[in-house]
Every structure is written in structure tokens, then in C-alpha cells.
């Protein structure tokens, strides 16, 4: 059988490293997800843009790699995170080009063919390096503010004030810095989203309200710590420099592996993918398995009773499925869904490392290989459990339990 820990229904190739989802879009009747990818090793390095597409948000087709680093070029050290926009009828990637070190990153664009299969990179930056030595700017995300196309980027550095910068991107080849959309001195942001850098900012309209999602990068003794993802709901004041004023916020996903999500607004619908990191896997494990990281299930976002809530996209749960009773082996159901009506524990016997996931009173649990996502009353928690070929799964307690295999 294939690697029992490898997610088979989610966006990730069979080999190599995966991190941030990028360039989400819907084109030609298909959903497209790009992602940070090192096809050469199961660790961060030589970052390219991988690509997958789907007709139904449930079954994904791996597409050719969109961009890889070019030696001696603007992105020689990596094609880092960004977004995809339609510039008229031209698909355009706006991304972080790293020439050597992350603090020297610049903004860059690449224009694509109609089928998103071929990309041509601009010969010069769209935005030059910003800030004093040691500061970094990255992760462009496009949004319309007051009828004007803008790009927001995360900014900061060790011991610095985290900021979200905003640019006028009417001309995608020349992003004009307008100023700071929000910084970490704001009292609401300081309390709810403390960080040295706000990575992967997403400024989106959800249910008619403005929401800013930021991933928290903190530094400790020179080490970078990925410290979760927060949402802030607030008001957006347009003007020469748009300003975001947050009123409330919270945690996007309570699980340690979850980071760097991106949101796609498709009509009235807001869909989010995140990166699920590996949990306590050493170099020997990574080398033996040959892969690391996966993207999460696409999640639909809403604002409800002062909270940002999420649930799996309905299309994902429309898989062909067979009912499961009692316990089941990895061979029988490498991917499955469980619903519970009361507190319980999902147990994986024979797992590599911890094999128990506590479940709240009423929950929907999605498992695919080692990826475990728990949804309960709008909250979600992403974690990892690593089954072996001999592993079996079962739920202890949980009240009324229903389980089905996903194909």
C-alpha cells in the first residue's frame, strides 16, 4: 500500500515539501490552488510554486510546477508566497521574490496563459525592498478598496512592530506604497495578534464585513516561531492611505500545525485553505518518507455571533462513502469522516507517536492519512496522527457515532 501517513485526498504531491497555499482562483470551470513547494527534498528550500486543480473541491489533479527559482535571478533563493489576480483577461501572479536572504525580498509579477499552465516573469520588481536593514516584507494579497485595486503585504522583523502595508496596485507592474494599513501598536491587534511579523495577510469581505487574517511570526533568540493565526474584524477607512480599525478577533484554528492560510472570495462565498505542518517528525522520518506538509480541507468561512466560524466545504463531504462500524484498518479507510454527539476520543492503535485526539461534545472529524481536522460549533482544530500500515482507528465514547470512508 502507499504510505499510510500521506494524505491522499488533499493538495500535496507524493514527494517533497509543501507549505503555504497561494494563488487561489477559479478559472475554466476548475478550482486552482498553488502552493509553496520544494520538489527536491522534504524540507524548506529552493521554494517553487506547485499547482493543483479540481472540478469539485474533492478530487485534485497535480499540475506542472508553475515557477521554480532561477539562479542569478530576482527569485534565486525562492519564489515565496503571493496571490493570483485577473488583470483584465490576463492571469497574473503577484509573489515574493527572494534573491538571497528573506530580508531582501521584493515584489514581483508573472503573467500566465489562459489555462494557467505557462508563466512569464517580469524582468524587474513591482515593489522594491522596503524598510531598514533587518526588516522584511512579503506575501502580497490583492483586494479592492473603494474601487481601487490594492495589495497588502506583511512587514516586520526581529524586535520590530508588525505591520500590514498597503500599496496602490492599479498597475500590477508598479505597486505604489501608500502606507500602513494596520500596525501592532493598535490596542486590539496588540492584545489579540502579538507578533514581530504578520505573515500572509488576507483582507477580505465575509458576510458583508471586513476581516483581516494574519499569521503570527515571533522571534526568540534568533529562532523564528510560528505562533498561530488570528482574525480581526473591523472597519476599513478609505482615503489616501486606507486604514483598518479592528474591533474584535480570535483564533482561526486552535491546532499547532495550522499556519499561513489564504482565502478565496468567490461571489458570496469565502473559502480558506491552510498549511498543516508536520508534528514532531525528525530528520530520519522525513528522509524515510520523502515528504512534509499538506494543505487542509477547503473551509467555508462565515461571521456568526461575533465569531469567525468555519466548516468543511460541502463538496468535500460529497465523496463516495461506505459506512464504517466499530473499528477499521488503515487499509480499509485511509480517509474517513466521523461525527459524534458527545465527548469522546479518536484513537489510532499502532500509530507512530501519540495516537489519541480528544473530541468535544459534538464534532465532525475529517481524517486523511496523518491529517486530522476537528470541527465543532464553528471552531476548528488541525492536528496530526501518524498511522502505520498495521494501524486501526476507533472512537471511544462520543455518544452517537457515525463513521464513513471517503474515496
Catalytic (active-site) positions: 20
Cβ contacts of residue 318 below 8 Å, gap of 6+? 56, 58
Query: Looking up cell 490552488, which residue turns up?
Result: 33
Q: Which residues of 214-246 are buried (b: 16+ CB within 10 A; e: fewer)?
A: bbbbbbeeeeeebbbbbbbbbebeeeeebbbeb
Distance CA 5, CA 22 (A): 24
Sheet strands (E) in 286-370: 291-292, 294-295, 299-304, 307-312, 321-324, 327-329, 335-340, 344-349, 356-359, 363-368
- Integer Cα distance of 172 and 134 in angstroms: 26
Cα within 13 Å of Cα(299), Cβ side: 30
User: How far apart, in whole angstroms, are the C-alpha atoms of residue 383 and residue 258?
Assistant: 8
- In the numeric block, the cell 473541491 is attached to 57
Amino acid at each position: 500500500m502507499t504510505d499510510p501517513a500521506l494524505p491522499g485526498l488533499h493538495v500535496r504531491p507524493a514527494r517533497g515539501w509543501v507549505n503555504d497555499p497561494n494563488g487561489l482562483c477559479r478559472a475554466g470551470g476548475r478550482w486552482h490552488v498553488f502552493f509553496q513547494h520544494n520538489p527536491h527534498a522534504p524540507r524548506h528550500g529552493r521554494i517553487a510554486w506547485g499547482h493543483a486543480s479540481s472540478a469539485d473541491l474533492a478530487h485534485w489533479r497535480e499540475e506542472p510546477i508553475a515557477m521554480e527559482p532561477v539562479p542569478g535571478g530576482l527569485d534565486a533563493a525562492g519564489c515565496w508566497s503571493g496571490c493570483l489576480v485577473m488583470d483584465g483577461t490576463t492571469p497574473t501572479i503577484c509573489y515574493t521574490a527572494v534573491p538571497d536572504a528573506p530580508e531582501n525580498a521584493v515584489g514581483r509579477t508573472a503573467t500566465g496563459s489562459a489555462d494557467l499552465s505557462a508563466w512569464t516573469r517580469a524582468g524587474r520588481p513591482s515593489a522594491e525592498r522596503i524598510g531598514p536593514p533587518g526588516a522584511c516584507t512579503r506575501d502580497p494579497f490583492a483586494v479592492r478598496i473603494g474601487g481601487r485595486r490594492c495589495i497588502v503585504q506583511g512587514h516586520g522583523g526581529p524586535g520590530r512592530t508588525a505591520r500590514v502595508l498597503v500599496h496602490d496596485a492599479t498597475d500590477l507592474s508598479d505597486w505604489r506604497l501608500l502606507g500602513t494599513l494596520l500596525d501592532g501598536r493598535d490596542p486590539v491587534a496588540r492584545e489579540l495578534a502579538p507578533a514581530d511579523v504578520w505573515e500572509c495577510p488576507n483582507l477580505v469581505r465575509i458576510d458583508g464585513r471586513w476581516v483581516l487574517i494574519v499569521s503570527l511570526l515571533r522571534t526568540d533568540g534568533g529562532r523564528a516561531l510560528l505562533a498561530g493565526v488570528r482574525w480581526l474584524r473591523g472597519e476599513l477607512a478609505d482615503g489616501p492611505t486606507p486604514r483598518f480599525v479592528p474591533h474584535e478577533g480570535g483564533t482561526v484554528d486552535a491546532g499547532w500545525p495550522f499556519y499561513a492560510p489564504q482565502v478565496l472570495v468567490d461571489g458570496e462565498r469565502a473559502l480558506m485553505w491552510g498549511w498543516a505542518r508536520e508534528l514532531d517528525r525528525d530528520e530520519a522520518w522525513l528522509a524515510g518518507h520523502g515528504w512534509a506538509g499538506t494543505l487542509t480541507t477547503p473551509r467555508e468561512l462565515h461571521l456568526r455571533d461575533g465569531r469567525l466560524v468555519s466548516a468543511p466545504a460541502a463538496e468535500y463531504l460529497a465523496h463516495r462513502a461506505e459506512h464504517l462500524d466499530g473499528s477499521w484498518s488503515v487499509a480499509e479507510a485511509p480517509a474517513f469522516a466521523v461525527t459524534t454527539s458527545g465527548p469522546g476520543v479518536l484513537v489510532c492503535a499502532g500509530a507512530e507517536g501519540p495516537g489519541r485526539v480528544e473530541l468535544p461534545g459534538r464534532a465532525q472529524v475529517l481524517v486523511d492519512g496523518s491529517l486530522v481536522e476537528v470541527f465543532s460549533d464553528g471552531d476548528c482544530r488541525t492536528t496530526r496522527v501518524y498511522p502505520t500500515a498495521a494501524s486501526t482507528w476507533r472512537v471511544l465514547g462520543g455518544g452517537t457515532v457515525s463513521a464513513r470512508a471517503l474515496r
